[in-house]
Structure formats: structure tokens, C-alpha cells
Amino acid sequence: MGSVVRGGTGGCGAGGSREREVAILLPCELCGKPQDPGVRLVSDDAEVRVQVPFAASDHDEPEPDFAVVPVSTDRAVHPGRAHLIVEVANTSPRKDRIVKGAIYALAGVPEFWLVDVQRRLVEVYREPLGDHYTASHLARPGDRIEVQGLPGRFVAVSDVFPV
């Protein structure tokens, strides 16, 4: 199974930094083989956008590691809605959790995952209210996470982290 990262092709679990490997493995787990550089269909109405700016507000346009967004025919427009946004953090989990988490909550993103590479876990945030999420839990290897906006779509945490 292949993966597309920033328009280039790489194998799932291919070498590189641990953060890069996780950034390749997690989209592969969500949707399988790529259909288009930088974009992978998850379902008929959702796709994964890899490292594409997210139009959170008029002032904030972060570039998440990837986002599951409604399918768009206009690739030039940055998505402003998402089912799920994922940040992969190897050295900056606190910044991603606090700063980016607030941006995504304010934008009404229903689900935000922070993949903490060093601790080998996924912080799952749901139910945005203002600038924070009201529900959260930690998912560890052995756990499976269901994507809230895509019922029946699960990610096994063990499959996300390189061996």
C-alpha cells in the first residue's frame, strides 16, 4: 500500500524520522491507497488532505499534518470544514495541543487528534465549545479509535506507530 506525502509517493512505513513515518502510516490506515497526489478518498463524501492549509478563520490558516474534509472539486480552495484534523507531534505536543487545538475548536472542527510520537499515544479531542474541547481521551497501542464523523471507520493505534 502506498502513501502520498506533499505530492511525492512513499511506501507506508518507509524510512525517515519517526514523525514522518507516523504521518505516512495514519492516512494509510484511514483510507488505503492514494487516488490523487495529496488527496485520498475515505468515503464518497470525505477525503484526506495531507499538509494542506485549513481555513480556520479569516486570521488563522494552520497547516495540519492531515485533515479529513468534505470532498471538493476545487483543489485550489483550502478547506474550511473538516470531520477530523490530525497533528503529528514529535517535539511540540504542548504547542499543538494548546494553540492549534484552540484554533480547531473555534473553527468548529468536531474531532482533533494529537499523535504524540514520543509517548506513542493519540490524544483524541471531541465536542468543541469555544476555544477548547469538552471531551478527550488517550488512545494507546492496542486501542482502536472510531472517526466520529465517519461511523464504521476505525484506526488501530498499534498500526499507526512504526515498530
Q: Grid cell 498499534 — which residue?
A: 158
According to CATH, the topology of domain 2-160 is: tt1808, chain A (3.90.1570)
CB 110 within 8 A of CB 128: yes
| Three-class DSSP category at 150 | coil
Residue ranges of domains in the chain: 2-160
99 Cβ neighbours under 8 A, 6+ residues apart: none
For residue 136, give Cα distances in angstroms to 82, 112, 149, 150: 18, 9, 16, 18
Which is more confidently placed, 72 or 120?
120
Return the number of other C-beta atoms located less than 10 Å from residue 121's C-beta. Answer: 19
Give the pLDDT band (50/70/90) at residue 106. Answer: very high
- Could you tell me where the DSSP H helices lie in the chain? 18-31, 93-95, 101-106, 157-160
- pLDDT over 90 at 100, yes or no: yes
User: Model-level pTM greater than 0.95?
Assistant: no
The model's confidence at residue 76, banded by pLDDT at 50, 70 and 90, is: low
